Amino acid sequence: MTKVSVKQVGIRRALAVDAGALNQIRSKTPGPFAPTRGLERHLAEPAVYTYLAEDEAPFGFVTVGPATDLEHAGLGEVREWFVSATYQQRGYGRKLLVHGLTVLKRRMCDSALIWLPVEANRPLDVLLKHGFKPYPAQRLVNVDELSITEQAYLKDLSDYF
C-alpha cells in the first residue's frame, strides 16, 4: 500500500499581516484581473470581509462587501476572487466563492454582484454553475496601460440557504 501525503487546507479571515501574501497571489494570477483596491484598505474596512485559503502558505482569497459601482439596497459584491495558478482546477476557487456568498447572505444581502473580465472563461464557468446570471452592465477598468472590459454577473441570494 502506498501512502499519499495530503495537505490540510483551511479557510480563515485574513488579517492585516496577510496583505503582502495576498497581493503576491493577486499579482501572480494569470489572466486579465484588475485589482479593485489595495488589500490593505480592504482589510481595514469594517464592512468588507477577506477570507484566505492556505495550506503552509496562503494560495487564494475572496473579498466581499457592499457593492461599489452599482448601488441597490441589499446588493453585496464579490470584490476580488483569486486562486494561485498551481491550486486552480482543484475546487478551491469554488470553495472560496461559496464562503464569500455565505458571508454576504449572513450580512443580509439579497443578491451578489461580481465583475469579471469578458475574456475570463474558466471563472465564468464556476459562476454560471453557481447560479450567477449576466447583468446588463459593463465597465471599463484601466490597469497599468491596458483597458479591460468587465461584465457584471448577478446571483439571487434570497434562497441561498
pTM beyond 0.85, yes or no: yes
pLDDT in tens, 76-133: 999 999 999 889 899 999 999 999 999 999 999 999 999 998 988 888 999 999 999 9
In this predicted structure, the answer to whether residue 155 has a pLDDT above a threshold of 90 is: yes
Domains located in the chain, CATH noted: 10-156 (3.40.630.30)
Question: Residue 101's CB: how many other CB atoms inside 10 A?
Answer: 24
Q: Of 22 and 39, which is predicted with more confidence?
A: 22
In this predicted structure, the answer to whether residue 67 has a pLDDT above a threshold of 60 is: yes
Question: Residue 151's CB: how many other CB atoms inside 10 A?
Answer: 18
pLDDT score, position 51: 96
Q: Which residues contact 97 (CB under 8 A, 6 or more apart)?
A: 62, 78, 81, 126, 127, 130
